[in-house]
Structure 1
Amino acid sequence: MRAMTAVFAGVFAVVAAGAGGGAAVAWPGPHVTVAADGSGDFTTVQAAVDAVPAGNASTFTIKIKPGVYHGQVIVPATKPYVFFRGQGADPTQVVIVDDRANGTPKPDGGTWGTSGSASVTIDGHDFQARNLTFANSFDEAAHPEISGKQAVAVLTRADRLVFDNVRFLGNQDTLYVNSPDAATPARVYLRKCYVEGDVDFIFGRATAVFDRCRIHSLDRGSTTNNGYVTAASTSIANPYGLLFTHCTFTGDAPAGTVYLGRPWHPSQDPNAIAQTLIRESTLGAHVIAAAPWTDFGTWSWRDARYAEYRNRGAGAVPSADRPQLTAAEAATLTPRTYLSGVDGWHPER
């Protein structure tokens, strides 16, 4: 690995160059490079995250060269403002991947659980990622002995996160947008991203805006039910859950076999009232057009906050079971209103 000039957050004091010592101060601000072939500062993404100073107060860029990087990555709450920047020509060239599921046995006993299955967990606020892929490659067919097949690619539990031109790959529970607790809001903005999966593959209680994204449903081999796109668990106190705006919903699944969502009540919490709005988007024929929202166990979808506005495509056929916004309502439910919060955060562009 190359020698580096160490820069400590806060004082930015330059010390003698040395391998593995810290971050360079060139473009723009402190940064390190990850390269699987050893040509960077680190060979793993987690090692680069570990090098970010605790209490970091400004953008710390981790440049990631093309390659496949195996192993779990955790960005802790003590390390905000971390920026994963893929250095490839497109997001397929940098892949961060792990392969464990909810029911995968842990070395010290027990299983990982849904949250523990995440390939990447983000607890540091103001995190950004651009031009790369997050994946969970757990092979359901190869592990019939594992019943808990939820396998998260990314779990977010922090506020003011941005994903730009990022791919999220998995099957069940691909993207878990959550928050530290039900009373704490957490906002996530996803711009021109790609998310794929089958069962509940976008879920959680965070406020998340999907702007010009592609949402792709995989084929589970069923002729009637190939899964659910969303499973929001928005707190009843939060008016803003999942917003999809100018997105494209595609699928490998047969026509009329995928639901847009079902309401998740973690631990049967009656105050988790899903809020999901899909507006001005294109819905493919895989969507169950007559009734795209469905119950989750005993919890009725009709008690959730589901709505659409000016969608189009084969999966957007008008129906009595598809609540629609009025123009006046739609004007108040935009990316800006979802993301502003009390601090006026506006990452959208």
Structure 2
Amino acid sequence: MRAFDLILGAFGLLSAVEGSNVKRRDSSVQLWPSRGQNNVNIDTNLVLTFSSAPTIGKNGTIRVYNSASGEQVDLLDLSIPVSPSPFGNGSTKANYTDTTTYQTNIIGGMDFYFFPIIVRGNTARIYLHNNQLDYGQTYYVTMDPGVLNLASGPFEGFSSACAWTFSTKAKGPAAGTDQVVVASDGSADFNTVQGALDWAPINPSSWTTILVMDGDYEELVYFQYKTKVLVRGQSQNGTRLGYPNNSAFNPPNRQGPSRRPAFSFKGVADVQLSSFSITNYYRGQAEALLTDGMRIVIDNMRLNGSGDAMTTYGTAYVRDTTLYGDGDTILGYGSVFWENCTISTGAAMSWTRTVQGIHGNVFVNSTILGRDGNNTFVRLQSNVGGVLPWWPYSEVVMINTRTQGIAPIGWGPIQGAPYPDQHLHLWEYNTMDLGGKPVDYSQRLNISQQLTLPANASVISAYTDPAYVLGGWTPVVFS
């Protein structure tokens, strides 16, 4: 039995009871946490499930109070707009003259625009601001009429201090704990992945393991400056993280990293993600995952993004992973060794921006699928408008790669001034179709190179070694 199954067994695979029917305009609503519930995690969402689909109002407030002190600990005001582009279809450029206040949550120490309520089917999930609840406290919730609406009229909400109350756990994981479990139904240590990551120590002496049970986790995830963190899902297809986000919904800040991924981290070291899926539900510049750190392992993952579906900085080892994107599917600033992976792309597979002195994207025994039937491995853009550097040291190397839907030219388009091809590494060895038949190299871009044996034996051997590509690091994958 796997260690993950043993841990879940310790929790008894508990299924939380979401009860407490409350009549509002002749409609039954189920609450989570239920009225008077004890032992609630401090990262809980507030969930209302109706007999029919609710809609979100444009005004009104949701407030959470400490029952003992009467202090208001959180406020969600629906009159505040969600984002400059709430549907993710507006401008992708930062507008620093915009002084509008938008719905903002501090996630992992950085501000993001976010949805205070998300409705899926008959369920409305309310997202409190992060880290507002404490252990060992009792809270009550008020909600104005019309925050949610039903076909019969506005949901009447809650106005008294006793209509919807709950109490949090007496304390969190004990000091020295190095393994916790996340379950969306509240039956484990945390309800959310972000809650567990916020708890994880910054610089522990040993690894911290976060086990995530199967379920849907619709949340923006971001953390920074942490080390030795392993996040493992119960199953790749059953443990599903995701969020609607892109560069229009969360445009660039004056300072700080990109805010457009569904899941991202910055300045970390020794982090492993295994056996779950991440989906960005918006199109455009919309990463499923952004990695920024040293010695990152991505193992047995399913990543679904759009443009720049995965962005990389630092060093990473990716194995047995499927990445789906719409174009520039890999935006690569870092050194990444891809092994036994599948990349499905709707345009150029990669825009690799590696600089002199480091390696780029290296694919070994992997598969690249072009969905439009005429896609390419990379694109490169010169500094035509004085905005971007030329990236003359870009490196993409493919060894024993199976392909489908790739144009005969293979590499490109190359835009603007000619590249100094002595610096570019656009190399491939033994590229095949899905049936294992060698592809025709005769129309390949003239600044790409097709490696052969025995002439390039030492190069091929070097690039099949992760340590060579990753600056001397030999990845170790925790199973």
| Alignment partner, residue 32 of structure 2 | none
For structure 2, the 5+ residue unaligned runs are 1-37, 42-168
**1:55 CA drift (Å):** 2.0
Q: Is 2:84 the counterpart of 1:84?
A: no
- Written as runs of structure 1 = structure 2, the 5 A alignment for 1:1-349 is 19-22=170-173, 30-77=178-225, 79-88=226-235, 91-104=236-249, 115-123=258-266, 124-138=268-282, 140=283, 149-178=284-313, 186-218=314-346, 227-238=347-358, 240-253=359-372, 255=373, 257-263=374-380, 267-270=387-390, 273-284=393-404, 286-296=405-415, 298=417, 300=419, 302=421, 304-313=424-433, 316-319=439-442, 320-321=444-445, 322-325=448-451, 326-339=456-469, 341-342=471-472, 344-347=473-476
Aligned-pair identity in percent equals: 24
> 3-state SS of the aligned residue for 1:159?
strand
- The CA deviation string for residues 170-210 of structure 1, in whole angstroms up to 9 with x for no partner, is 111110011xxxxxxx2100110000112101112110011
- 8 Å Cα contact 1:128-1:163 kept in structure 2: yes
Q: Deviations over 1:24-72 (max 9, x none)?
A: 87xxx71111111111111111111011122223211111011111121
> 265-274 or 330-339, which moves further after superposition?
265-274
Change (3 A) 1:54 1:244: same
1:92 positional shift:
1.1
Contact 1:247-1:282 within 8 A present in 2 as well: yes
What is the distance in 1 between the residues matched to 2:382 and 2:175? 46
Distance 2:415 2:216 in 1: 36
- Which TM-score applies when normalising by structure 1? 0.77
Distance 1:288 1:111 in 2: 39
CA contact (8 A) 2:295 2:475 kept: no
Q: How has the CA–CA distance of structure 1 residues 307 and 104 changed in structure 2, closer, same or farther, with 3 Å as cutoff?
A: same
CA contact (8 A) 1:2 1:41 kept: no
AA matched with 1:31: Q
1:95 and 1:301 mapped to 2: Cα distance? 44
Q: Tell me, in whole angstroms, the C-alpha distance in 2 between the residues paired with 1:161 and 1:265.
A: 30
Higher strand share: 2
The structural deviation recorded for 1:272 is 5.6
- How much has 1:23 moved relative to structure 2? 5.3
1:188-241 C-alpha deviation (Å, 9 max, x unpaired): 0011000011210111211001100111124xxxxxxxx110011001121x11
Alpha carbon RMSD of aligned pairs, Å?
A: 3.0
With normalisation by structure 2, the TM-score equals 0.57
Question: How far has the Cα of 1:87 moved from its partner?
Answer: 1.1
* Cα offset, 1:271, TM superposition: 5.2
Bigger Rg, structure 1 or 2? 2
AA of the residue aligned to 2:213: K
Structure 1, unaligned runs of 5 or more: 5-17, 141-148, 179-185, 219-226
Secondary structure of the equivalent of 2:463?
A: coil
Could you say if the C-alpha distance between residues 35 and 295 of structure 1 is closer, same or farther in structure 2, counting changes exceeding 3 Å?
Answer: same
User: Would you say the 8 A contact 1:61–1:85 is kept in 2?
Assistant: yes
The residue type paired with residue 356 of structure 2 is I
Assess if the C-alpha contact under 8 Å between 1:151 and 1:173 holds in 2: yes
Change in CA separation of 1:69 and 1:296 when aligned onto 2, cut-off 3 Å: farther
Q: Deviations over 1:121-162 (max 9, x none)?
A: 122211001110111110x4xxxxxxxx20011111100011
Q: Which residue does the alignment assign to 1:8?
A: none
